[in-house]
Amino acid sequence: MAMISLHTSPLDQPGTGDAGGMNVYVLEVAKRLARCGTAVDIFTRATSSALPPEVEAADGVLVRHVHAGPFEGLAKDELPAQLCTFAREVLRTEAAQPHGHYDAVHSHYWLSGQVGALARDRWGVPLIHSMHTMAKVKNDALAEGDTPEPTRRVIGEQQVVDAADALIANTDLEAKQLINLYDADPGRVEVVHPGVDLGVFRPHPVAAVRRELGLAPDALVVLFAGRIQPLKAPDVLLRAVAVLLADDPSLRSRLVVPVVGGPSGSGLEHPESLAQLADELGLRDVVRFVPPVDQATLARWCAAATLVAVPSHSESFGLVAAEAQATGTPVVAAAVGGLTTVVDDGRSGLLVEGHEPRAWAAALRRVLVDADLRDRLSAGALRQARRFAWEHTAEATVEVYRRAAAAMQRETVS
């Protein structure tokens, strides 16, 4: 299997730059595919001259660093100019292998899909594509002050949809969006939920992880984890916390709001804006900024939290919400995109319509002050998380590969 993740490497630290849930997805699915007997080569763009040409990420999973454009300082919106160079190097790599080395191509994000479409035609193998995010969906739910996705991305996505033998959607909603917004052939759209590493994201002794992370045993911990950018709406959370404290000042002595992650996307234009907002709202004694952390440490942060807030304007799935639930922590999330699939409203967490701070403050308060509700949601979160495991994702993905290959063979014969 050739996987293409051009604009961000599965080896990058999620939570900053362009690294996020997609990075986790690519690596975790590749590892499970390899365990089932499918070797995976992941092609990604080299961002440093110090990177080796190849890195074995796991048994059967090889990350290939492709030289295409300057190593550093190249923004994502500048990457389309490097597609030809990247594609040439991918084709050269395959040409050095025995004939028929790759059985299929699985591309992630539209830039990779452009390369995947070329490889499909050259190698005569099916192209399976995962969008992860879609320009039309993001532009319909644009955060205030955020930058809309450019027309060239919309056109590029449409080209990939038209070229792919199969499109993997994270949820039923995403499948409908592909069909309704991009006129995708319903027969080529398959729904496969992403997963969670249930061995890493699991309940931890709360007192112990709180000591480790410097949190008081009786603290009310409202955690945000992810990239700091308008799309993820951490500002909505801070404004809601300000309303919450204005309405009930007694919570202030116990409330802690860790923000785990780094600036990304349009958030890079003003990397200090969230800290400045915390100052303006008088929350610097409450908010704690934490740099991006690895998966094991993120699991401990989630387990230590009273609740995890996911106020995004748009999410194709919402991996952080699934991971938090796997630790037994309730989630308060925006009722958008894949979050409506990940969070079982009223059972594993609460879904909030819109992004008005007062509505968010009310939802946060419900979970923070009602211990019985927290216990019920915690038990429901664990049940809900069991629906999502990377092993299930990999098994279903292999079936998509097989159906796509069979369909391509039938078309070739006819």
Bind-site residues for UDP-N-acetyl-alpha-D-glucosamine: 13-14, 21, 227, 232, 293, 315, 323
CA 117 – CA 164 distance, rounded (Å)? 7
DSSP-H helix ranges across 202-308: 206-213, 234-247, 273-280, 295-304
Residue positions forming the annotated binding site for Mg(2+)? 305, 329
Residue positions forming the annotated binding site for 1D-myo-inositol 3-phosphate? 7, 18-23, 76, 109, 133, 153
CB 311 within 8 A of CB 236: yes
CB 308 within 8 A of CB 331: yes
Rounded to the nearest 5 percent, the helix, strand and coil shares of the chain are 50, 15, 35
CA 371 – CA 237 distance, rounded (Å)? 21
124 token code pair: 């005569």
Residue positions forming the annotated binding site? 7, 13-14, 18-23, 76, 109, 133, 153, 227, 232, 293, 305, 315, 323, 329
Q: What are phi and psi of 210, to 5 degrees?
A: -70, -40
What's the half-sphere exposure (Cβ side, CA atoms, 13 Å) at 229? 21
Which of 93, 150, 147 lies closest to 119 in space, CA to CA?
93
Paired with 255 in beta bridges are 220
The letter for the amino acid at 172 is D
CB 23 within 8 A of CB 8: yes
